[in-house]
Chain A
Amino acid sequence: MAQAQRIMTLDGNEAAASVAYRTNEVIAIYPITPSSPMGEFSDEWASRQMRNIWGTVPQVTEMQSEGGASGAVHGALQAGALTTTFTASQGLLLMIPNMYKIAGELTAFCMHVTARTLATHALSIFGDHSDVMACRQTGFALLCSGSVQEAHDMACIGQAATLRSRVPFLHFFDGFRTSHEVSKIMMLSDEDLHHMISNDAVKAHRERALTPDRPRLRGTAQNPDVFFQAREACNRFYDVCPGIVQEVMDQFAARVGRAYRLFDYVGAPDAERVIIMMGSGAETAHETVEHLVAQGEKVGLLKVRLYRPFSLSHFVASLPKTTKAIAVLDRTKEPGALGEPLYLDVLGAFSEAKFTGNLPFAQDPRVIAGRYGLSSKEFTPAMVKAVLDELSKKSPKQHFTVGIIDDVTHLSLEVDDSFDIEGKDTVRAVFFGLGADGTVGANKNSIKIIGEETDNHAQGYFVYDSKKSGAMTISHLRFGPRYIRPPYLISKASFVACHQFVFIEKYDVLSYAAPGAVFLLNSPYSADEVWDHLPYEIQEQIIAKKLRFFVIDGYQVAKDTGMGTRVNTIMQTCFFAISGVLEREEAIAKIKGTIQKTYGKKGEEVVKRNFAAVDETLSHLHEVKVPAKPTATMHQLPIVAQDAPEFVKNLVAPMMAFKGDLLPVSAFPVDGTFETATTQYEKRNIALDIPIWDPAVCIQCNKCALVCPHAAIRSKVYDPSLLGEAPESFRSIDYKGREYKGLKFTIQVAPEDCTGCKLCVNVCPAKDKANPKHKAINMEPQLPIREREQANYSFFLALPDPDRASIERINVKMSQFFRPLFEYSGACAGCGETPYVKLLSQLFGDRLLIGNATGCSSIYGANLPTTPYCKDDSGRGPAWNNSLFEDNAEFGFGFRLAVDKHIEQAGELVAKLGSQIGDNLVAELLSADQTSEAGLRAQRERVAALKKKLAGIDSPEARRLDLLADYLVKKSVWMLGGDGWAYDIGYGGLDHVFSMQRDVNVLVLDTEVYSNTGGQASKSTPIGAAAKFAAAGKSVGKKDLGLMAMNYGHVYVASVAFGAKDNHTVQAFLEAESYRGPSLIIAYSHCIAHGYDLSFGLSQQELAVNSGIWPLYRYDPRRVAQGEPPLVLDSAPGKASVGEYMRNETRFRMVEKMNPERFRQLSILAAEASVRRVALYDHMAKLTVPKGNGAKPAGADEQNA
């Protein structure tokens, strides 16, 4: 044994990356959830000049895609560097082509994968083995970890084994469950790693490098004469690989004391029923089997660690000879296969063992197959027991699922949820918080305190909801004297804390509480008053479960100590005070220690306020005297309103109530198709203050409605006679313009959907002349006016939308009379992207097809439970799909190909049926002017007339035309995505689509960073900005995507920023859509990743434009035909300084604070670059190009070019 091992509490990603970083020289990555933190840790360590075990700082490089990362890895390996990468899911799939090459060349390489669900009927960021299972055939060794400690250990074993065996390794562990679980582990020292990594093997790796000093060549093309034999030449390496891995594991055990086997058996030596599985689920089975064995049951578990190469001999030798029945559990699904991969391997292994006379069992065991845990579905001891119980049956289900209710194919096992095996000596605590209140961060600190400052073991796992604003977090913390194994959520907690009082109105927070548990509630009501403010369901559980009930007015303490809404350290102090894990004074000292560590870098004041909050806490913490009986007449609020559609009540509402796990298979569509327009039922009430309109001050510009990211403030014009039924508080005023003379006008907030971001107030230009601080829109506390505004908003929604055809000149003001068909999304409060998406839905929503690249816009666009895209009164609205991250341009292009084909065929059929339809109607249908709303409506009426005619025509053509007639009304095809897609991973496809001449529209929501995965640099990241993988400040300028597209000549390109010039944005959208060729709009989108208060997002946009950092322009190929320059520069820089713009955002300020001189240089470069860019545009804007270069009409493109 080496010296005493260092203990740390960290998550699986850090645990694996710690080894990978220290044992490699080159790291090429691309961010993808849930593996991104491994790359980020590496980048952070490299930027801190942390060295690997050979004393050098690894080179960490972010590529443009996983395909790119794997190419770079392959190259680095070929050139002899010790190289690694991290990835998951679809990213892993993009690496497969290179994985074949790397394996075919017998290259020592260990990559680390957070196993994640592959997108099928839906995307999921969570964990299962479907990605890893797609790599079985590549020739990679597959090595599995089931816990944070194992992720650390196997990272070492995989690296050591690949160097010795030359077989490349894919080390994987379960996404989120292991990658994001925080746990106390024993760390491997540099010496341990040196001990494990063979110098000779490293030398051999180096010597295999391609170098002109010893020229050799790989990557030949081989012919039928030799390929086969050459492919077989690697066999011996695979034959010996399992043995090498076991040797490495043995060497590891001898060094650090933790022993692993290729197949690790746990349970009764004479077990009759055995489960075979791998990953974190095996830890649950481990714990359950031990529990049952202690009760005398003859059960066992075989954990598969080295899945490929699959060692038959090690496998059969690992199972008890007494085994009679085996359940093989796979965390993946292969529809159409005889069974999932591990099951088939086990069957194959037994068959082969039997054929070769090596089957050790007294009798052939019965083998059954189960699926569990897809997309991180919970896998609990009760489920393990259900599987083992199934094995006891005479006729068990040959194929089953566990963890869901399958009421369609009836594959699921019944599970007795009351089965609980968790030890009494473990403290189990569950905390409900809001993302923004800091609960998770404080809990992570608590785990560190307990894990690293006491002898206790500690574990934390954090569940986030799918919203980016007002998101609920649930923290699951376990502490105790013994090793903590459970990789599943806590269901019976000894401590339940609810950090937000509003949660108890809706959510069943006490369902987590075990009898006799402590319940801590952050309550605006005192210990004497709180009881009367609890709903019946909460009172009832407090009494029935005999809970000890504590309250603190954390909001007040936070307010008094200048903490705003951050109640995290206050609630953390309460937890330590009540739980008694540490002595109070010691706990407070430790909490303050972590505060200093966490916030020290943000300045003394932040630390001081947190300290004050901690010091003020205990005097505000009180135990509540619980009455003997529930006294409440008030009940918890229904999740959705009574008048919600059935599918919302039955399918959406349970998901919203965090009870989606209970929904059976039959509740779901079979192909992932979902209804739109469901966010309207969510009513999240997350804003403390909401905007209220003052008609007397309003100038009716509609800017507030335009900038609202959540379509939560809207305007309408309507006939005065409709006001008869209006609530008394409904505000209305005469419409001021000529367009709707005599009508009434109203601006109305959606009080329960508003996020309180204040963009509308900040954009409002109208001020009360006598009291300019009072605007036409003013924030007011939501709670006192919620009901009043609910009534007003309901009335407002019921007012008819203005006739689209009545709007002739579309500008900012008029555009806002179109109903938003994208509403109340889960985007961040103050989001800079969604106003564009909403505008798109207003202008073209009733004929809009959207292909959406994966990213923020796909997540707030369609992350269940609810969908923000919605329908107008005629039932029309955006149709939407997300294919992948990398292929969105091609995907949207496919929409266009299909729609064009439909239009073409419809036209052909109309012409063919001409005489029966009527010549006039045919002529009108085929030559309709659909460039205005009036024209579109006329065409819709013609199509309706056509359908009527068709009903009377009895021919196959008429029936075919029935299905295609609607395509005669113009459809608008848009591709949406962020800069990660458009500038990086999807650029190749985007470029190809530009090179075509189809009528497609691309909207790039440019936040200049990978926002959805947490702020990694993209090629759009501007010079001087700090981002992950560019922490020192990016030194290369932003790629000029617009200029690249203009280069084609036939692409419409616009650069817009609605905060700087909103009418320009509207104009660009209209022009792009009307242009019958490819169009690109690059839309400046302020983002939380820029690091400032987004209520200032619009003024930052203005600064970006006025400083020249973000020039506004429109490049319209149609202008060429008119003898005009195609490019019009729509902004004049020089009205603000680049420095002024940069200093307002933490992403730039960070660079200045770290290295003022570097910042100065970069900001000079940024200013110079923007001057050069504007000068170039200016020059182009004066350039008249010869005519005849415009786009051809759609359909006349050169497909075969």
Chain B
Amino acid sequence: MDLSTSYLGFNLPHPFMPGASPLADNMDSVRKLEDAGASAIIMRSLFEEQLIAEGLATAQSMDGPAESFAEALSYLPTPDDFVLGPDEYLEQIRKIKQAVSIPVIASLNGVTRGGWLDYARQMQEAGADALELNVYHVATDPDETGETVVQRTVDMVAAVKKAATVPVAVKLSPFYGSLPNVAKRLDAVKVDGLVLFNRFYQPDINVEDLEVVSDLTLSNSGALLMRLRWLAILAGRLQADLAVTGGVHTSLDAIKAVMCGASSVQMVSALLTNGPRHLARIRQEVAEWLEKHEYESLKQMQGSMSLLKCPDPRAFERANYMHILQSWQSA
């Protein structure tokens, strides 16, 4: 069965790949992913905010006590090769590139315009085949309009696109007043792919200690539904490829995502839970499903259930909500 797909300009044997996550942090796991047939490797995000915070904190903790006391003008060694910044990440890109033959997609979460541009450049120089810009913004400022947020993202992507020679995908959150408009504007600045969606860190509350507890919980298939809807809405309307991430756990999940228009199906929780071999299983099962259902190829079903092509587009629109609500009320 021909499962091939095209994502960010790469012709891939199939759309299944690990999403941005710690899965690519160590080389053993990277090799296992390639062995399991992953069509690309997406690295976890480099967080500019964290780099800045670490730099400032380290400067404070090392320089603060230094040159203050006659017996100890410093408290830690200052080796030449102790340089804070993105080096570990860039080194990991190089290592992965050396170890595997599939495309390596580096992921970046910036907070400053300079950071986005600079780190994108450095990732490209380190050998990344493509970049995934992880737009991870939680709006907390009541004075900032949605338009400002969107325009900032669009400008940033435009700037990175201008500077980068490798393909650039943008990983979005679902929280926009009009996601199609955002997508259209990103498409206009020639973004190569849109990844739906970011999974926010969802803080929990410890009611005994009255503390906010941050923990990343794994997704389940339920998380896929929202993504299917937006894939379906966007599919066929953009130059950019669409990718799904979040909620793909089974082969049926994967099939649904492709039917709604995904060119790339990214999995994290499923692989963390079941191991890299799970990717091979999904691929096998999808192939079997397609054969059983007499599809010619994966491309044949790609986008078949999008808003433009599905038999009942209204189901993806407001009616969907209404309908379910009504059926619940009448139950």
Contact = CB atoms under 8 A, between A and B. Distances in A.
Interface of A: 33-34, 36-37, 40, 43-44, 47-48, 125, 176, 180, 434-436, 438-441, 444, 462, 464, 467-468, 471, 473, 564, 566, 599-606, 609, 765, 767, 769, 772, 828, 859, 1011-1015, 1026-1028, 1030-1032, 1087-1089, 1091-1093, 1146-1147, 1149-1150, 1152-1156, 1160
Interface string B69-96: 1111111111111111101100110000
Contacts of A37: 73
Contacts of B11: none
Given A47-B79, A441-B67, A1089-B75, A1146 B87 contact: no
Nearest to B27: A1157
A605 B85 CA distance: 10
Given A464-B68, A601-B82, A438 B58 contact: no
B70 A1014 contact: no
Given A44-B77, A1014-B73, A1091-B75, A441 B84 contact: no
Interface stretch (B49-57, B249-257, B295-303): B49-57
Contact of B65 (A44, A435, A564): A435
A1004 to B, nearest CB: 19
Given A473-B67, A1149-B58, A1152-B88, 10 more contacts: A33-B71, A125-B70, A436-B65, A471-B68, A602-B62, A772-B210, A1088-B64, A1091-B62, A1092-B57, A1156-B92
Q: Report, nearest first, the 5 A-B pairs whose CB atoms are least far apart.
A: A435-B68, A603-B55, A1014-B72, A772-B210, A440-B67
Nearest to A773: B210
Nearest to B211: A772
B220 interface: no
B59 interface: yes
B163 interface: no
A1012 B71 contact: yes
B284 interface: no
A836 B87 CA distance: 40
A885 to B, nearest CB: 12
A1091 B61 contact: yes
Q: Which of A434, A1014, A1155 gathers the greatest number of chain B CB atoms within 10 Å?
A: A1014
Nearest to A1147: B76
A1153 B70 contact: no
Contacts of B178: none
Interface in B19-77: 26, 51-52, 54-77
Contacts of A765: 209
A1150 B57 CA distance: 13
B75 A1031 contact: no
A601 B81 CA distance: 9
B60 A1014 contact: no
A599 B62 CA distance: 11
Contact of B85 (A125, A604, A859): A604
A1150 B68 contact: no
A601 B70 contact: no
B76 A601 contact: no
Contact of A1013 (B61, B67, B72, B79): B72
Given A603-B84, A604-B55, A564 B60 contact: yes
A464 B88 contact: no
A1146 B63 CA distance: 12
Contacts of A601: 78, 82-84
A435 B67 contact: yes
Nearest to A1152: B88
Contacts of A180: 70
Given A473-B67, A603-B51, A828-B65, A1088 B56 contact: no
Q: Which of B55, B59, B69, B81 gathers the greatest number of chain A CB atoms within 10 Å?
A: B69
A1099 to B, nearest CB: 12
B153 to A, nearest CB: 22
A1027 B91 CA distance: 24
B138 to A, nearest CB: 19
B74 to A, nearest CB: 6
Interface of A is mostly: mixed
A562 to B, nearest CB: 8
Given A603-B54, A1152-B88, A1156-B88, A1088 B61 contact: yes
Contacts, number: 160
Contacts of A48: 79-80
Indicate the size class of the contact surface on chain B.
35 or more
Nearest to B26: A1160
Contacts of B59: 599, 602-603, 606
B58 A1091 contact: yes
Interface of B: 26, 51-52, 54-85, 87-88, 91-92, 114, 118, 209-211
A468 B91 contact: no
Contacts of B62: 602, 1091, 1146
Nearest to B52: A605
16 contacts: A36-B71, A47-B77, A48-B79, A125-B70, A176-B70, A440-B68, A464-B69, A603-B56, A603-B84, A609-B56, A772-B211, A1011-B75, A1013-B71, A1015-B77, A1030-B77, A1146-B58
A1146 B76 contact: yes
Nearest to B78: A44
A1153 B72 contact: no
Contacts of B78: 44, 601
Nearest to B91: A1156
A170 to B, nearest CB: 22
Contacts of A34: 70-71
A1160 B59 CA distance: 24
Contacts of B69: 435, 464, 467-468, 471
B108 to A, nearest CB: 15
Contact of B72 (A604, A1015, A1026, A1150): A1015
A1150 B69 CA distance: 23
Contact of A1028 (B26, B77, B82, B92): B77
Contacts of B80: 48
Contacts of A564: 60
Contacts of B26: 1160
A60 B102 CA distance: 46
Nearest to A566: B63
B67 to A, nearest CB: 4
A929 to B, nearest CB: 42
A421 B81 CA distance: 47
A31 B64 CA distance: 22
Given A435-B67, A435-B68, A1015-B75, A1092 B61 contact: yes
B229 to A, nearest CB: 37
B70 A464 contact: yes
A1092 B26 CA distance: 27
Contacts of B73: 37, 1014
Nearest to B86: A603
Given A435-B67, A471-B69, A604-B55, A1153 B75 contact: no
Contacts of B61: 1088, 1091-1093, 1146
A1177 B271 CA distance: 37
A1195 B85 CA distance: 61
Contacts of B76: 1015, 1026-1028, 1089, 1091, 1146-1147, 1150
Contacts of A462: 67
Contacts of B91: 1156
A859 B87 CA distance: 40
Contacts of A1150: 76-77, 79, 82
A1147 B54 CA distance: 13
Nearest to B66: A441
B58 A1031 contact: no
Contact of B70 (A33, A434, A1028, A1160): A33
A439 B75 CA distance: 17
A606 B71 CA distance: 27
A1149 B55 CA distance: 12
A916 to B, nearest CB: 56
Contacts of A471: 68-69
Q: Which of B81, B87, B92, B211 gathers the greatest number of chain A CB atoms within 10 Å?
A: B81
